Structure 1
Amino acid sequence: MSKPVMNVALVCGPDCDMEVQAFRASLEYFGVRVFTYWVGRPNDLIDVLSGKDLYPNTDIIILCFHGDEGQFIMPELEESIYEPGEPKGDFGPEEIRHFAKLAGKVVIGTGCSVGKLETAQAFLDSGCEVYIGPNDYPDGNDALMFVLRLFHDLIQNNRSVKEAFQNAKSLDAEMDMFQLYENGQQSSRK
């Protein structure tokens, strides 16, 4: 492999493996070095978001999870399986603020409603440079096409994240639910 154009962390939540496989194959075709993280328990996600298990020089983190009401749906474990201090239930703004350390990163959430303002602000509070996610409930195909168009523009056309974001939103009316947040201010509109 020649020098990759960027390093991407692809984080797979429960029942999102087909989306992750589609992203990985496409991004690698674009020349991206992809590191896939399989989340089987909350501590797996915490290790990525805290940087403990994040590949050095990761440029972008894609969180492939189902979402609801601004929270990432987490695996449900039998009570005795949880480790001491490991959060139970879904992962929302409170957990993000508590565990995430994402200074200078671009983070994309593909799950339903994970682009709500409170969730986005939690990522920005963790040091994240840019956070992108849908504030409503997109069809899975829309999330896939949005992210692929975004990366195509970033890599093939050498566009900035903001420019690539605007072009990805222009695919069709369903893409309007994707929001870009930066420095605590929403920037999804021209």
Structure 2
Amino acid sequence: MRVVGQEEYGVRAGELARAYEGVRFEDVHREVLPHLPPPGARVLDLGAGSGRDAAALAGRGYRVVAVEPTDALRDVGRELHPESGVQWVDAALPEVGGVSGVFDLVLLSAVWMHLDEGERRTGMARLRELVAAPGGKVVITLRHGPPPEGRRMFDVPADETIALAQEHGLVLVQRSGNPDRMGRPLVHWDALVFEVVG
């Protein structure tokens, strides 16, 4: 699946995967760990990249579907984590075609900022379809700072994301601001955890 403005992910897949894999899942998502469902739950990793998070979640006993639209990154993810049991799918937000059923947790790590306003509206509606109710969780990390050359990126305000999620029945249960775990001084992150209530 071709995603406009993200060609660099395919061209530099190996280099990017090494950078992603150089940071542990537990360090990137430490504030989110208390919100993980019990082992055995169904988890969707949207924009899975090198598969670092998907493999770590599978290692914790979850049934994981990893969605990644970049062929080269999917290939790298399969090579790096061959025994993880992760199911890989070629799809992308906002439609996330080819993925069915509902999940106890949906993770979007460093993904939401690639969508424009209209795509974010469509994408949030789709997220609500994909997360189980009640009690299902959606985790979205938002990147703030100058975008790398050649990548389509938007600086999406956390408040906008929170309001849009609320329109779709997703209630904020945690918000934390985080430094960039890859050491980029001009980049920082918001981690938002939403829950389906009712």
Q: TM-score range by the shorter chain?
A: 0.3 to 0.5
TM-score, normalised to structure 2, is: 0.45
